[in-house]
């Protein structure tokens, strides 16, 4: 893949797509704001900002740089990227602190609902000759009491071997490496796909400027995204990583947890690798 193609897949295109996906989700959410809650959260956020300004004696020149950068984040459509990379992991931690079942982690900006529905054993939609190591990802979905959850939905999406997501990068089929697998009567599923690659979050926009200015790296480790659900149970949103993978220990999004690291072995058919990972859902 050429540098030009990779550049086209970064801030401008992916930012616009992520922003539109988020706006679409919000239009259907129908959540009313509690004014007292808004007052508390915004007041404390501003108070924290005041404290930073006073403690570090922020200058007008630094303030103007911040102001310009904030404007540029909006113009680049990178607010979903910024918030999902640097804040979402704490929101997820608080939201799921009382779960008894499987661990969750951030959704990230690249989720698209209504992916193609597939049977309990399925191959994700992909291009002919899709590059990458074949991966069989299999497991069972149960309730916290051990009851198998027949017909549980396992939504899965991930980057390709170039680190690119369909619908957020050019020249990829609409549903490439995305699908909703319906578990069988015993809650089991078998998903044939390819191993994704680590990737840099977009660096040619305003988030990239922040990363460069702070001297950070922009890498996320290779991972599978999943949403697992069943009637009468709480949906779990998670990501699964690969043992020994690059940047598992220093993910820019701080989303890796020990319970979410896979350790695939050689596939039984001799083609690629396979791994078993079970999901346990809390009752609603």
Domain boundaries, the chain: 1-284
Residue 151's pLDDT band, with cuts at 50, 70 and 90, is very high
pTM equals 0.87
pLDDT in tens, 46-88: 999 999 999 999 999 999 999 999 999 999 889 988 999 999 9
CA distance 103 to 115: 23
Least confident of 7-11, 70-74, 216-220, 223-227: 7-11
Most confident of 5-14, 15-24, 271-280: 271-280
Phi and psi torsions of 233, nearest 5°: -135, 155
- Is 32 a residue whose pLDDT tops 90? no
Q: What is the mean pLDDT of the chain?
A: 92
Tally the residues of the chain: 284
> What is residue 10's predicted lDDT score, i.e. its pLDDT?
53
pLDDT in tens, 1-19: 333 344 445 555 666 666 6
pLDDT in tens, 87-141: 999 999 999 999 999 999 999 989 999 999 999 999 999 999 999 999 999 999 9
The share of the chain scoring above pLDDT 90, in percent, equals 86
Rg (Cα) of the chain, in Å, rounded? 20
Higher pLDDT, 153 or 80: 153
User: CATH assignment of 1-284, given 2.60.130.10, 3.40.50.2000, 3.20.20.140, 3.30.980.10?
Assistant: 2.60.130.10
Phi-psi region of 162 (alpha: psi -120 to 50; beta: other; left: phi over 0): alpha
């Amino acid at each position: 893949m050429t540098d030009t193609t990779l550049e086209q897949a970064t801030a401008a295109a992916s930012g616009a797509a992520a922003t539109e996906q988020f706006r679409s989700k919000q239009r259907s959410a129908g959540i009313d704001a509690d004014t007292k809650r808004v007052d508390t959260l915004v007041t404390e956020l501003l108070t924290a900002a005041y404290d930073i300004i006073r403690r570090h004696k922020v200058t007008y020149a630094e303030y103007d740089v911040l102001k310009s950068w904030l404007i540029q984040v909006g113009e680049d459509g990178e607010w979903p990227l910024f918030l999902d990379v640097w804040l979402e992991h704490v929101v997820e931690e608080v939201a799921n602190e009382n779960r008894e079942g499987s661990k969750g982690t951030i959704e990230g900006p690249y989720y698209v609902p209504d992916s193609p529905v597939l049977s309990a054993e399925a191959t994700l939609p992909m291009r002919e000759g899709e590059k990458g190591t074949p991966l069989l990802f299999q497991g069972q979905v149960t309730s916290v009491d051990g009851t198998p959850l027949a017909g549980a939905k396992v939504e899965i999406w991930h980057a390709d071997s170039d680190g690119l997501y369909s619908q957020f990068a050019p020249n990829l089929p609409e549903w490439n490496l995305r699908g909703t697998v319906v578990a069988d009567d015993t809650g089991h599923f078998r998903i044939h796909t390819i191993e994704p690659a680590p990737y840099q979050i977009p660096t040619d926009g305003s988030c990239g400027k922040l990363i460069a200015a702070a001297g950070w790296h922009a890498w996320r480790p290779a991972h599978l995204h999943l949403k697992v659900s069943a009637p009468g149970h709480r949906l779990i949103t998670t990501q699964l990583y690969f043992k020994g993978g690059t940047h598992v220990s220093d993910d820019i999004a701080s989303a890796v947890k020990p319970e979410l690291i896979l350790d695939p072995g050689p596939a039984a058919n001799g083609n690629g690798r396979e791994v078993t990972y079970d999901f346990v859902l809390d009752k609603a």
